[in-house]
Copies of this chain bind each other. A is one copy, B any other.
Amino acid sequence: MWTFINGDWVEAAKASVHVSDLAIQRGYGVFDFFRTVNHKPLFIDDHLARLKQSASILRLSLPYTLDALKQIILELINRNQLATSGIRITVTGGYAADTYSISTPNIIITQAPLTMDDVFDEKKSIRLITEEYVRELPTVKSINYLMGVYLQQKVKDAGADDVLYVKDSCISELPRSNVFVVTHNNELLTADTNVLHGITRKHILQLASSFLKVKEQPVHIEDVLQAKEVFVSSTTKRLLQVHSVNGNSIANGKPGNVTQQLYQLFLQLEQNNTLQ
C-alpha cells in the first residue's frame, strides 16, 4: 500500500512525520476523508473544496492546487488498486521551530480498505447519549477530536453507540456524523450552526428537497424526542437510524421509511457518480 507524503510516494508502513509537527505538538491540522466506490473517488470535488476551506480558516497553505491534489489522488487509487476504500488527506501545521507557530504544512494522503454493505438494514440502528458540548471551530474539519475520543468510555458505560452534542437544549452533531430529524409533518430538520457541513449531509438535503420540506435551522432536543424518525449521516455510514437518545426510544423504535427512502436515493446517487 502506498502513501503520499509531501511529494513522495512511500510504503504505508513507513509513512511518518517528525515529532516537531504542530499536529503532535499542538493538535493543529485539518483533514478530509472520502470513499472510493468501484475505484472511483466519491464526491471528490466536494471534499477537496471543504479541505481548502478548513485549511484556509486555520491559515494553513495547501501545498497543492485542488486540481493537482485530484491528480495525486487518482494516482494513489491507481497504485493501490483498492476498489472500495477510504482516502484521508491530512494537512498539518508543519514543523514548528518554536513548537507553537504555524509553519509549512505537511500533507499526507493515505488509503485503506473499507467494507461497505450496499443495502439498507432496517434492523440496524444506534443508541445515543447526549453531552453538553460544541466542537471548537465547528465548520472546520480539524483533527481535534479530544472530546469525541475522551467520551468513548462514557458512551460505552451507558451501553450506547455514540454521543450527540447538545448546547442550550439544541442539538448540533455527533463527533463524526451529522444528525437529521423527520417530523410527523414530514419535515426534515437539521442544525445549521455549530456543525461540520458534511458532504453526505449536503447530498441528503438535495435529495430530500424533492419530496420533503427541508429546514436547516436550530433543532431542539425535544424535536428529536418527538420525532417520527431520526437518522445520522456520514461518509462511512451513509444514513443510519437512531434508535434512542438517553434511553428514550424514537417513535417506539419503528423502522424509518423516510430514512430508508433517502438511503436508497443516496445509494443510487453514489452509484451514478462512480460508474465505470
A positions within 8 Å CB-CB of B: 3, 5, 13, 15-19, 21-29, 58-59, 88, 90, 92-93, 99-102, 108, 110, 136-137, 142-150, 152-153, 176
Number of copies: 2
> How distant is A102 from chain B, measured CB to nearest CB, in Å?
7
Task: Indicate whether A26 sits within 8 Å of B145 (C-beta atoms), given known contacts A16-B17, A19-B16, A110-B19.
Answer: yes
Binding site of A, secondary structure by majority: helix, strand, loop or mixed? mixed
Please name the residue on chain B nearest to A3 by beta carbon. Answer: B19
CA A153 to CA B28, docked complex, whole Å: 15
Chain B residues with CB below 8 A from A18, complex form: 13, 15-16
Please name the residue on chain B nearest to A26 by beta carbon. Answer: B145
Chain B residues with CB below 8 A from A137, complex form: 146-147, 150
CA A158 to CA B108, docked complex, whole Å: 34
Query: Are B15 and A17 in contact, with the CB atoms below 8 A?
Result: no
Please name the residue on chain B nearest to A98 by beta carbon. Answer: B112
Sample 25 A-B pairs with CB under 8 A, ordered by A number. Answer: A15-B18, A16-B19, A17-B19, A19-B90, A19-B110, A21-B24, A23-B27, A24-B24, A24-B108, A24-B143, A25-B143, A26-B146, A27-B29, A27-B142, A28-B145, A59-B150, A93-B149, A100-B149, A100-B152, A100-B176, A101-B152, A102-B149, A102-B152, A136-B147, A142-B146
CA A136 to CA B132, docked complex, whole Å: 12
Query: Are B3 and A92 in contact, with the CB atoms below 8 A?
Result: no
Query: Are A108 and B142 in contact, with the CB atoms below 8 A?
Result: no
Query: Are B136 and A24 in contact, with the CB atoms below 8 A?
Result: no
Query: Are B143 and A136 in contact, with the CB atoms below 8 A?
Result: no
Chain B residues with CB below 8 A from A16, complex form: 16-19
> How distant is A149 from chain B, measured CB to nearest CB, in Å?
5
Residue among A5, A13, A29 with max Cβ neighbours from chain B (10 Å): A29
> How distant is A76 from chain B, measured CB to nearest CB, in Å?
14
Query: Are A143 and B17 in contact, with the CB atoms below 8 A?
Result: no
CA A135 to CA B84, docked complex, whole Å: 39
Query: Are B15 and A59 in contact, with the CB atoms below 8 A?
Result: no
CA A22 to CA B274, docked complex, whole Å: 31
Query: Are B27 and A143 in contact, with the CB atoms below 8 A?
Result: yes
Chain B residues with CB below 8 A from A88, complex form: 99
Query: Are B17 and A24 in contact, with the CB atoms below 8 A?
Result: yes
CA A129 to CA B209, docked complex, whole Å: 45
Chain B residues with CB below 8 A from A3, complex form: 19
CA A147 to CA B108, docked complex, whole Å: 23
Query: Are A150 and B19 in contact, with the CB atoms below 8 A?
Result: no
